[in-house]
C-alpha cells in the first residue's frame, strides 16, 4: 500500500481511539469509534481478496449497527437526563442499550458471531490490530458506564467465557482460535468490570502483549493453521520453544503472567460473594486451556514428520525486526512476580 | 552350679557345637569332599545322639529337671529376653529320640540322594532343620521357641521345594509356608497377649502369673498355631502336598519332628490350658475331626507317600485329642513312639520307590514280599505298630490314649470319631501292605530292586528296633504325672483293639472284592468325597482365589475403567463437551442477517427485562 495512505490510516486509527479515551461528551466518544472503524476498513480490504472484502463488509455492517445504537442510546440518555456527560450515570434504559451496543462492538457473547469470520478473512497484521487496538475504545466506554450488581453484565461475561471455550475446541484455523480466545478473555474482563475496574484493566493490559506475541509468532512462521505451525520446529527452533509459554500464558497457567488477571479476578469474584460464577468461569478457562495446549502440542511437544528438505532449512539472518516480539513475549511470560507493582500502577 | 545342671547344659552345648560344626564348615569356600554328607553330617548327628544319651540316663536315674538361663539378649523396660533352656521331662526324652531318628534318616539319605549333585546342600538343610528343631524343643521362653518355630518353617519350605524345577513342588512349598504363616498369627497373638498381660515370655513365670487370668484368647492363639504347624483340620492341606519333597524330608520333617512342633507347643503350655474348658473342648473336637477326616481321605489314595502323610495327619489329630483330654504326657508319649514307626514307614516307602525306579503308585506295585523282604517286613512292623498292635511301640501310647478317652467325661461325638478313625487306620494300613507287598507284581520287569545296601538296611533295622521296643522302654522308665484310670469295663478296655480288628477284617473282606464285581454300579459319592480330599483343596485353593480374582477383575474393568473413568468421569466429560463444542462452532453460519437478528432480539429482550 502507498505509504502515505498507510500512514494516514494508521494515524486515523490512533486518533479515533485516543479521541474516545479523551472524551467526556458522548458524541465525541461516538465520533472516535466511527473514525477508528472507518480507518481500519481500507486496511482490512487492502489485499482486495474476496474473502478479505467479505470480512470487511461484515465488520463494517456490525460495527455500524453498534455505533448507530450507541448514538441512539446516548441521544436517548441526553433526552431523559438532559446532559451529554459520560461521567454522570446513565438512565437504566439507555444503559442497557449501550451495554449491548458495546458488547457487539467488542465481540462479547451472545453477539460474538461476527468476530471469528471477520478475523479469519484478514491477514495476520490487520487481525492483530483488530484483536488488540480495536478493543481499547469500547472497553474504556464500558468501564465508564458500569452499574453495580447487574445480572446482564454477569450473563455477558459467563456466556463469553463459555462460548470462547467451547467454540475454540473445534477449530484448526489459528485466527479463529485467537478469535474465540479474544471472546473468552473479554468475558473475563467484563465479569470483574462491575466490581473492580482496575482488575479489568489489568486483564486487558496482560491480554494485549499475549495476543500480540501470538500474532507475531504466527506471522514469523507465516502459518494460519495448526498443521503449518507443526513445521515450525525446523524453521525457527527458538521460537518453537518459546511459543508454549505464550500460549499457556493465554490459557492462564501459573507461573506465567496470564495467571495474574485470572487469579485476581477469581479472588475479587469470591470476595463479592458469587462463588458459583467464579467456579463456572474457572472451569471454562479449562476449555480454553485445552485448545491452547493442543496448539502448543502440535507445534512444540511433537516433531511432526516432514520431507527431508524441509527439516534442514538454511537458517539465514532475518531482516524483520524481532525486538517487538521479544519484548511482548517476555512480558507475557514473566510478569507474574511483578503483580503487586502492576496492580499499583493500574489504579484508575 | 549343681553337677546335674552342669551335665545337662554342657551336653546340650556340646550337641549344638557338634551339629553346627558341619554347617559352619560349609560357609568356607573350600569345596566339600564327596562323602562330606556321610562322613561329616551323619557322623555329627550320630555323635550328638550319643552325647544326648548322657543327660537322658541322668534324668532317668535322678528324675532331675533343670532350667538354664544364660546371656541376657534384650533388655527393655518391661520385658527381658534371655537365652534360656529348659531340660525337663519332655525335652530330655524327645531330643535323643529325635536325634536317633534323624541319624537313621540321614544314613538312609546318603543312599536315597546319592545321585543328586547337590546332596551336600541337602544334608546342610537337614542339619539346619535339626538345629532349629532342637532350639524349639529346648526353649524356655516363647521368643526362643519362636526362633525355632520359624526356623523349621523355613527349612520345611526349602526342603519341600528341593526339586524346584517341578511346579507342583513349588506350589507345595508355598502351601506349607502360607498355612504355617496363618498358624504363626495365632502364635504371635498368644505371645503378644502374654507379653502385655503377664509381662513375661518365660515359661515358669507365665505359669505362675496367669493363675487368675482368663487365658482363653492366648490359648486360642496357641491352638491356631498348633493347627497351622501340625496340620489340623482347616489348615491341613499342606501336609499331603508336602510329599513333593524327597522321602528323607518327608520322613524327618513331616512325620517325626516338624509337624509335632505344634503339639509340642501345646504340651509345653498345658498348665495354662488345664482349667480352661473352652480350649480343651476345642482341642478335643478339632483333633477328633482331623483324625477322622484325614483317615477318610487316606482310604482312597493311590500314592504310597500320600497314604503315609494322611496317616501322619490322623495321628496328629489323635495327639490333639489327647491334649483335649487334658493328658499332655500321653500326647508326648505318642509323639515319641510315632516318630519311630512313622519314620520307618517313610523310609520303607522310599526304599520301595527307589527300587521300582521312582514309582509311587501302589496300583503299580505288588509282590515285593518276595523281592524286597526286609523292606516289606519293616513295612509290616511299622503298620502294625501304627495300628496299635499290642506291645509294639504304638500300643503303649495309642491304647493309653483311647483308654483315657473312654473313661473320661467327653462328648460322645469326639469319642465316636476317634474310634472310627482308629479302625480306618487299620484299613488303610492293610491297603498299603496288600498293594505293595502281597499278590503278584504289577510293575515293569526291569526294576532295579536292590535293598542290600547297608545304608538302607541299617536305618531300617534301627528304626524297627525302635518301633518294637520304643514304647516299652519309654513307658518303663517314666513316671506318669496323672494317675491313669486302670479299672474299666472290659468292653471299654478292649475298645481300641476290637475296633482295629474290626477294621482289619473289613479291609480283608474288601480286599477280596478286587477281583469280583460286588455291585452293578458302585456307590461313588463317598469315594468322591475321599478322593477329592473332602473338596477342601478344590474350594480353598481354587474356588476362593477364583472368586477373588473375578472380583478384582470386575472392580478394575467394570467399576474403575467403565464406570468411574468412562461413564461418569473423564470420558463422560469428553462425551458431553464434544456436542457443545460442535454446536458452538456450527452456529457460525456466515449470514450477517442472522447475526444482526440475534443482536436485535437480545437487545429487545435485555431492554424489556431491564425495564421491569
Q: Which residue has the higher pLDDT, B149 or A234?
A: B149
Tell me the per-residue pLDDT of B246-280, one tens digit each, with 9 for 90 and over: 999 999 988 888 888 999 999 999 999 999 999 99
> How many angstroms away from the CA of B597 is the closest CA of chain A?
10
At which of A49, A72, A103 does a domain end?
A103
Distance between CA A51 and CA B360 in Å, rounded? 93
Dihedral, CA of residue A183, residue A187, residue A193 and residue A199, to nearest 10: -80
Report yes or no: B487 and B393 within 8 Å, Cβ to Cβ. no
Within-domain flag for A8: yes
**Which of A211-215, B27-31, B210-214, B407-411 is modeled with the greatest confidence?**
A211-215
Using CB atoms, pick whichever of A62, A65, A152 lies closest to residue B610. Answer: A152
Domain end (from A75, A103, A131): A103
B602 lies within 8 A of chain A by CB: yes
How many domains does the structure of chain A reveal? Answer: 2
Residues A260, A196: Cα–Cα separation, whole Å? 15
Separation of alpha carbons B126 and B552, rounded Å = 41
Mean pLDDT, chain B, integer: 91
Q: What is the pLDDT of residue A62?
A: 96
Task: Name which of A57, A110, A167 is nearest B598 (Cβ-Cβ).
Answer: A110
A1 — pLDDT class (breaks 50, 70, 90): confident
Mean pLDDT throughout B178-202?
A: 93
CA-nearest residue to A176 within chain B is B585
B47 sits in which H/E element: helix B43-62
- Check A65 against B599: CB less than 8 A apart: yes
Among B583, B585, B599, beta carbon nearest to A104: B599
Interface confidence, given as ipTM, is: 0.90
Residue B487 in contact with partner chain A when CB distance is under 8 A:
no
The kind and range of the H/E element at B6 are helix B3-27
> Which residues in chain A have Cβ-Cβ distances shorter than 8 Å to B608?
none
Contact A114 B592 (CB under 8 A): yes
Query: Which member of A95, A111, A117 has the closest CB to residue B598?
Result: A111
| Distance to chain A for B580, nearest Cα, Å | 6
Contact list, A61 vs chain B (CB under 8 Å): 592, 596
Of B158, B182, B382, B201, which is closest to residue B262 (Cα–Cα)? B182
CA gyration radius, chain A: 20
Mean pLDDT confidence for B121-147: 93
Of B584, B590, B598, the CB nearest to A163: B584
Touching check for B611 and chain A: CB below 8 Å? yes
Q: Which residues of B touch A171 (CB under 8 A)?
A: 585
| Residue B152: pLDDT over 60 | yes
Q: Is pLDDT above 90 for B74?
A: no
Contact B100, B466 (CB under 8 A): yes
pLDDT score recorded for residue A149? 61
Per-residue pLDDT band at A138 (split at 50, 70, 90): very high
Residues A48 and A178 in one domain: no
Mean pLDDT computed over A106-110: 92
Is the pLDDT at B29 greater than 80? The verdict is no
- What does the pLDDT look like over B542-587, one tens digit per residue? 999 999 999 999 999 888 888 888 888 888 888 999 999 999 999 8
Which has the closest alpha carbon to B175: B534, B531, B541, B532? B541
Contact of A246 with A206, CB cutoff 8 Å: no
Average pLDDT over residues B23-46: 84
Q: How far apart are CA A143 and CA A63, in angstroms?
A: 19
* Chain A contact present for B598, CB below 8 A: yes
Q: Do A97 and B607 touch (CB under 8 A)?
A: yes
Q: In the listed set A103, A118, A134, which residue is the last one of a domain according to the structure?
A: A103
Residues pairing with B67 in the sheet? B86
A260 is in which domain, residue-wise?
148-304+320-347
Burial label for B507, CB within 10 Å (0-12, 13-18, 19+), is buried
Integer Cα distance of B268 and B328 in angstroms: 8
In this predicted model, what pLDDT tens digit does every residue of B111-127 receive, in sequence order?
999 999 899 899 999 99
Question: Which residues of chain A neighbour B577 with C-beta distances below 8 Å?
Answer: 166, 169, 287
Q: Is residue A109 part of a domain?
A: no
* Alpha carbon distance B141, B207 (integer Å): 12
Task: Report residue B318 as a C-alpha cell.
Answer: 489323635
The most confident of A284-298, A311-325, B57-71, by mean pLDDT: A284-298
Predicted pLDDT of residue A290: 95
Do residues B273 and B280 make contact, with C-beta atoms less than 8 angstroms apart? yes
Same domain, A181 and A83: no
Q: What is the mean pLDDT of residues B87-112?
A: 94
Closest alpha carbon to B336 in B586, B97, B96: B97
Burial classification of residue B367, based on how many CB atoms lie within 10 Å of its CB (0-12 exposed, 13-18 middle, 19 or more buried) = middle
B329-B83-B4 Cα angle (round to 5): 60
B612 part of contact set with chain A, CB < 8 Å: no
| Residues 6 or more apart in contact with residue B44 via CB below 8 angstroms | B18, B19, B21, B22, B127
Does this model's pTM top 0.90? no
The answer to whether B465 and B340 have CB atoms below 8 angstroms apart is: no
- Percent of chain A at pLDDT above 70? 99
Nearest to A93 among B580, B584, B611 (CB): B611
- Examine the domain organization and report whether A226 and A338 are in the same domain: yes
pLDDT band, residue B183 (cuts 50/70/90): very high
Q: What is the mean pLDDT of residues B303-318?
A: 95
The three cell numbers of residue A85 are 456527560
- Rounded to the nearest angstrom, the minimum Cα separation between B164 and chain A is 50
Q: Cβ contact (<8 Å) for B610 and A92?
A: yes
Residue A264 forms part of a structural domain:
yes
Residue of B nearest to A96 (CA): B607
Handedness of CA A26, A28, A32, A33 (dihedral sign): positive
pLDDT level of residue A141 (50, 70, 90 thresholds): very high
Q: Is pLDDT larger for residue A316 or for residue B313?
A: B313
- What residues have CB less than 8 Å from B566, skipping those under 6 apart? B572
Q: Inspect the interface and report whether the beta carbons of A167 and B610 lie closer than 8 Å.
A: no
B580/A113 touch (CB, cutoff 8 Å), yes or no: no
> How far is B191 from B189, CA to CA, in rounded Å?
5
Closest residue on chain B to A118 (Cα): B590
pLDDT at A348: 57
Indicate if A157 and A285 belong to the same structural domain: yes
Closest CA to A234 of A301, A320, A316, A310: A310
CB B191 within 8 A of CB B153: no
Closest residue in A to B588 (Cα–Cα): A113
More confident residue, A10 or B72: A10
Ramachandran quadrant class, B447 (left: phi over 0; alpha: psi -120 to 50; beta: rest): beta
Q: What are the Cα distances from residue A330, in Å, to A190, A217, B69, B84?
A: 26, 13, 79, 78
Instruction: Categorize the per-residue pLDDT at B379 as very low, low, confident or very high, splitting at 50, 70 and 90.
Output: very high
A-chain CB neighbours of B578 within 8 Å are 169
Q: How confident is the model at residue B78 (pLDDT cuts 50, 70, 90)?
A: confident
A309 found inside a domain? no
Task: Please report the pLDDT score of residue A148 as a whole number.
Answer: 67
Closest CA to B300 of B78, B76, B460, B531: B531
Give A-chain residues touching B605 at CB under 8 angstroms.
none
CA distance B183 to chain A (A): 55
Closest Cα in chain B, distance from residue A150 (Å): 10
- Determine the distance in angstroms separating the CA of B560 from the nearest CA of chain A, rounded to an integer: 24
Shortest alpha-carbon distance between residue A51 and chain B (Å): 12
Crossing angle between the packed helical segments A114-121 and A174-193, to the nearest 10 degrees = 140
Each residue of B490-547: pLDDT tens digit? 988 898 899 999 999 999 988 888 778 878 888 888 888 998 888 888 888 999 999 9
Looking at chain B, the whole-number percentage of residues with pLDDT higher than 90 is: 66
Give counts: helices (H), strands (E), chain A. 17, 0
CB contact under 8 A, A96 and B610: yes
Residues B109 and B122: beta-carbon distance below 8 Å: yes
Q: Quick one: average pLDDT of B382-408?
A: 92
User: How high is the pLDDT of residue B212?
Assistant: 86
Residue among A92, A110, A117 minimizing CB distance to B588: A117
Chain A closest CA to B565's CA: distance in Å? 19
Task: Give the least confident one: A28-32, A265-269, B165-169, B439-443.
Answer: B439-443
pLDDT of residue B356: 92
Window from A284-288, B6-10, B108-112 with minimum mean pLDDT: B6-10
Q: What is residue A49's predicted lDDT score, i.e. its pLDDT?
A: 93
Residue B84: DSSP 8-state = E
Q: Is the dihedral of CA B278, B280, B285, B289 positive or negative?
A: positive
Q: Quick check: A100 and B590 CB within 8 A?
A: no
Q: What is the pLDDT of residue A150?
A: 82
Q: Which of residues 571-590 of B touch A (CB under 8 A)?
A: 577-578, 580-585, 587-588, 590
* CB proximity B610 to A under 8 Å: yes
Amino acid at each position: 500500500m502507498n505509504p502515505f495512505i498507510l500512514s494516514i490510516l494508521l494515524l486515523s486509527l490512533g486518533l479515533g481511539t485516543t479521541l474516545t479515551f479523551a472524551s467526556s461528551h458522548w458524541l465525541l466518544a461516538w465520533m472516535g469509534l466511527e473514525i477508528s472503524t472507518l480507518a481500519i476498513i481500507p486496511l482490512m480490504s487492502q489485499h482486495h481478496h474476496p474473502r478479505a472484502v467479505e470480512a470487511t463488509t461484515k465488520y463494517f455492517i456490525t460495527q455500524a449497527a453498534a455505533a448507530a445504537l450507541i448514538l441512539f442510546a446516548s441521544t436517548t440518555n441526553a433526552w431523559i437526563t438532559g446532559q451529554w456527560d459520560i461521567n454522570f450515570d446513565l438512565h437504566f434504559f439507555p444503559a442497557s442499550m449501550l451495554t449491548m451496543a458495546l458488547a457487539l462492538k467488542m465481540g462479547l457473547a451472545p453477539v460474538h458471531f461476527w468476530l471469528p469470520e471477520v478475523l479469519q478473512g484478514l491477514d495476520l497484521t490487520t487481525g492483530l490490530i483488530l484483536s488488540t487496538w480495536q478493543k481499547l475504545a469500547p472497553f474504556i466506554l464500558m468501564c465508564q458506564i458500569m452499574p453495580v450488581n447487574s445480572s446482564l453484565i454477569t450473563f455477558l461475561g459467563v456466556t463469553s467465557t463459555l462460548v470462547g471455550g467451547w467454540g475454540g475446541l473445534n477449530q484448526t484455523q489459528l485466527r479463529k482460535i485467537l478469535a474465540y480466545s479474544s471472546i473468552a478473555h473479554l468475558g473475563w474482563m467484563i465479569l470483574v468490570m462491575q466490581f473492580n475496574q482496575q482488575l479489568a484493566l489489568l486483564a486487558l493490559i496482560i491480554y494485549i502483549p499475549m495476543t500480540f506475541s501470538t500474532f507475531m509468532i504466527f506471522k514469523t512462521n507465516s502459518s494460519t493453521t495448526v498443521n503449518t505451525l507443526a513445521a515450525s520446529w525446523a524453521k525457527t527452533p527458538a521460537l518453537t520453544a518459546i511459543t508454549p509459554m505464550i500460549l499457556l500464558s493465554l490459557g492462564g497457567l501459573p507461573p506465567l503472567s496470564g495467571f495474574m488477571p485470572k487469579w485476581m479476578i477469581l479472588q475479587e469474584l469470591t470476595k463479592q460473594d458469587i462463588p458459583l460464577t467464579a467456579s463456572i468461569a474457572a472451569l471454562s478457562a479449562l476449555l480454553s486451556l485445552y485448545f491452547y495446549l493442543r496448539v502448543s502440542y502440535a507445534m512444540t511437544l511433537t516433531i511432526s514428520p516432514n520431507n527431508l528438505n524441509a527439516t534442514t532449512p538454511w537458517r539465514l539472518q532475518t531482516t524483520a525486526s524481532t525486538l517487538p516480539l521479544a519484548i511482548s513475549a517476555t512480558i507475557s511470560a514473566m510478569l507474574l512476580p511483578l503483580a503487586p507493582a502492576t496492580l499499583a500502577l493500574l489504579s484508575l | 552350679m549343681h553337677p546335674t545342671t552342669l551335665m545337662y547344659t554342657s551336653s546340650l552345648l556340646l550337641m549344638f557345637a557338634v551339629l553346627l560344626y558341619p554347617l559352619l564348615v560349609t560357609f568356607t569356600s573350600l569345596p566339600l569332599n564327596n562323602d562330606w554328607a556321610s562322613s561329616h553330617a551323619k557322623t555329627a548327628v550320630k555323635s550328638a545322639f550319643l552325647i544326648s544319651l548322657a543327660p537322658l540316663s541322668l534324668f532317668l536315674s535322678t528324675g532331675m529337671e533343670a532350667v538354664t538361663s544364660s546371656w541376657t539378649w534384650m533388655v527393655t523396660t518391661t520385658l527381658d529376653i534371655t537365652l534360656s533352656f529348659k531340660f525337663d521331662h519332655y525335652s530330655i526324652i524327645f531330643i535323643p529320640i529325635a536325634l536317633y531318628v534323624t541319624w537313621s534318616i540321614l544314613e538312609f539319605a546318603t543312599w536315597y540322594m546319592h545321585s543328586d549333585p547337590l546332596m551336600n546342600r541337602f544334608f546342610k538343610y537337614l542339619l539346619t532343620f535339626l538345629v532349629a528343631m532342637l532350639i524349639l524343643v529346648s526353649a524356655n521362653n516363647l521368643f526362643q521357641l519362636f526362633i525355632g518355630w520359624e526356623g523349621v518353617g523355613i527349612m520345611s519350605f526349602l526342603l519341600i521345594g528341593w526339586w524346584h524345577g517341578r511346579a507342583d513342588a513349588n506350589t507345595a512349598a508355598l502351601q506349607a509356608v502360607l498355612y504355617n504363616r496363618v498358624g504363626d498369627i495365632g502364635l504371635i497373638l498368644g505371645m503378644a497377649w502374654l507379653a502385655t498381660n503377664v509381662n513375661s515370655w518365660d515359661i515358669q513365670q507365665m505359669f505362675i502369673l496367669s493363675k487368675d487370668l482368663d487365658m482363653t484368647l492366648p490359648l486360642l492363639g496357641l491352638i491356631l498355631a498348633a493347627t497351622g504347624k501340625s496340620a489340623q483340620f482347616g489348615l491341613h492341606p499342606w501336609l499331603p502336598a508336602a510329599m513333593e519333597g524327597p522321602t528323607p524330608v518327608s520322613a524327618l520333617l513331616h512325620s517325626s519332628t516338624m509337624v509335632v512342633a505344634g503339639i509340642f507347643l501345646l504340651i509345653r503350655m498345658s498348665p495354662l490350658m488345664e482349667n480352661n474348658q473352652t480350649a480343651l473342648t476345642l482341642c478335643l473336637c478339632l483333633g477328633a475331626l482331623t483324625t477322622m477326616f484325614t483317615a477318610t481321605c487316606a482310604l482312597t489314595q493311590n500314592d504310597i507317600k500320600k497314604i503315609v502323610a494322611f496317616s501322619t495327619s490322623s495321628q496328629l489329630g489323635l495327639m490333639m485329642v489327647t491334649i483335649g483330654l487334658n493328658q499332655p504326657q500321653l500326647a508326648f508319649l505318642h509323639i515319641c513312639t510315632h516318630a519311630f514307626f512313622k519314620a520307618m514307614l517313610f523310609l520303607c516307602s522310599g526304599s520301595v520307590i527307589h527300587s521300582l525306579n521312582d514309582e509311587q503308585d501302589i496300583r503299580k506295585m505288588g509282590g515285593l514280599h518276595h523281592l524286597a523282604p526286609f523292606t516289606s517286613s519293616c513295612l509290616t512292623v511299622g503298620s502294625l505298630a501304627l495300628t496299635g498292635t499290642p506291645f509294639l511301640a504304638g500300643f503303649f501310647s495309642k491304647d493309653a490314649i483311647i483308654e483315657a478317652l473312654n473313661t473320661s467325661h467327653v462328648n460322645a461325638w469326639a469319642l465316636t470319631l476317634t474310634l472310627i478313625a482308629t479302625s480306618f487306620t487299620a484299613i488303610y494300613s492293610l491297603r498299603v501292605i496288600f498293594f505293595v507287598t502281597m499278590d503278584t507284581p504289577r510293575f515293569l520287569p526291569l526294576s532295579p530292586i536292590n535293598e542290600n545296601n547297608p545304608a538302607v538296611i541299617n536305618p531300617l533295622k534301627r528304626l524297627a528296633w525302635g518301633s518294637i521296643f520304643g514304647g516299652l522302654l519309654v513307658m518303663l522308665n517314666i513316671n506318669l504325672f496323672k494317675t491313669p484310670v486302670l479299672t474299666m469295663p472290659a468292653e471299654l478296655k478292649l475298645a481300641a483293639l476290637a475296633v482295629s480288628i474290626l477294621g482289619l477284617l473289613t479291609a480283608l473282606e474288601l480286599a477280596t472284592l478286587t477281583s469280583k464285581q460286588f455291585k452293578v454300579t458302585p456307590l461313588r459319592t463317598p469315594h468322591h468325597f475321599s478322593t477329592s480330599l473332602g473338596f477342601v483343596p478344590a474350594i480353598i485353593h481354587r474356588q476362593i482365589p477364583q472368586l477373588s480374582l473375578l472380583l478384582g477383575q470386575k472392580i478394575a474393568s467394570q467399576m474403575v475403567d467403565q464406570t468411574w473413568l468412562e461413564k461418569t468421569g473423564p470420558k463422560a466429560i469428553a462425551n458431553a463437551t464434544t456436542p457443545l463444542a460442535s454446536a458452538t462452532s456450527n452456529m457460525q453460519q456466515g449470514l450477517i442477517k442472522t447475526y444482526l437478528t440475534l443482536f436485535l432480539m437480545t437487545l429487545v429482550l435485555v431492554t424489556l427485562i431491564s425495564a421491569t
